[in-house]
Structure 1
Amino acid sequence: MTDPEHQERMTQLEQRIEAAKRAQDPKPRADEHYSAANLAWRMVIELVAGLGIGFGIGYGLDILFGTLPIFMVLFTMLGLAAGIKTMLRSAKEIQKEQEAEQAERNERT
C-alpha cells in the first residue's frame, strides 16, 4: 500500500466513525430548552434578588449604625445595578447558546 492510499483510507474511516458517532448522539431533551416565559422569569428573579439583597444589606447597616435610610437607599441602588448586570450576563449567555444551536442546525443541512 502506498502512503497516499493509506491516508485516503484513514480519512474515509475517520469520516465513517464520525458519522456513526453523530448517529448515536442522544437527541436533545425538550425540557432542557427553556421557553421564553422561563427565561423572562429567570431575569425577573435575578433583578428582584439583587434589589432584595441590596435592600437587606442597607437596612441592616442603617439599623446597626442608627442612621437615616442612607445606606438602605445606597445599597438598594447598588443591588439594582447588580441585578441588571446579572440579567445582561444571562441574556448574553442565552444568546450564545441560541447562536451555537443555530450554527449546529446550519451545519447539519
Structure 2
Amino acid sequence: MSQEPDPERLKALESKLAKHRKIDVAKPDRDNFAQGEMAWRMVIELVSGLGIGFGIGYTIDVLAGTLPIFMVVFTLLGLIAGVRVMMRTAAELNTQTEAAKASEEEGK
C-alpha cells in the first residue's frame, strides 16, 4: 500500500492530459450574438418611443378631457422618434462594420 507511483506511468498520464487540454472547444462566434443584440436594441427603442408617446398623449388627454386627440398625436410622435433612434443605431452599426473591415484590410 505504501508503494511509490511509477514515474513512467505518471509521465504517460501527464502527456495524455496535456494532449486533451490542447483540444480547443469551439467557442460561439461573438459576431452572431452582436447582430441579435443590435436587433433587439432597435426593437426596444421603437417600442419605447411608442410607449412613451402613448403615455404622454393619454395623460394629456385625461387631464384636458380631450380623449383621444393627444393620444394619437403623441403616439405618432413617439413612433417617429423611435424610428429616428433606430436609424441612428443602424448608422452606428454601419460605421462599426466599416471600421472593422478597414482594420482587417489594413492588417493584411
Normalising by the residue count of structure 1, what TM-score does the alignment of the two structures yield?
0.69
Match for 2:50: what amino acid?
A: L
Query: Match of 1:68, SS?
Result: coil
The CA distance in 2 between the partners of 1:34 and 1:104, in whole Å, is 21
CA distance in 2 between partners of 1:34 and 1:94 (Å): 14
- Alignment deviations for residues 70-101 of structure 1 (CA, whole Å, 9 cap, x no partner): 00000000000000000000000010011001
CA distance in 2 between partners of 1:88 and 1:98 (Å) = 15
SS in 2 for 1:35: helix
Shift of 1:36: 1.7
Identity of aligned residues (%): 55
CA displacement, residues 2-46 of structure 1 (integer Å, 9 cap, x when unaligned)? xxxxxxxxxxxxxxxxxxxxxxxxxxxx76985221111000000
Query: d(CA) in 2 for partners of 1:45 and 1:94?
Result: 16
* Partner-residue secondary structure (3-state), 2:85: helix
What residue in structure 1 maps to residue 10 of structure 2?
A: none
1:40-79 superposed matches below 5 A: 40-79=39-78
For structure 2, the residue ranges without an aligned partner over 5 or more in a row are 1-28
Report the Cα distance in structure 1 between the residues aligned to 2:103 and 2:32, rounded to whole angstroms: 15
Aligned alpha-carbon RMSD (Å): 1.7
Q: How many residues align?
A: 80
The 2-side partners of 1:100 and 1:50 are apart by 29
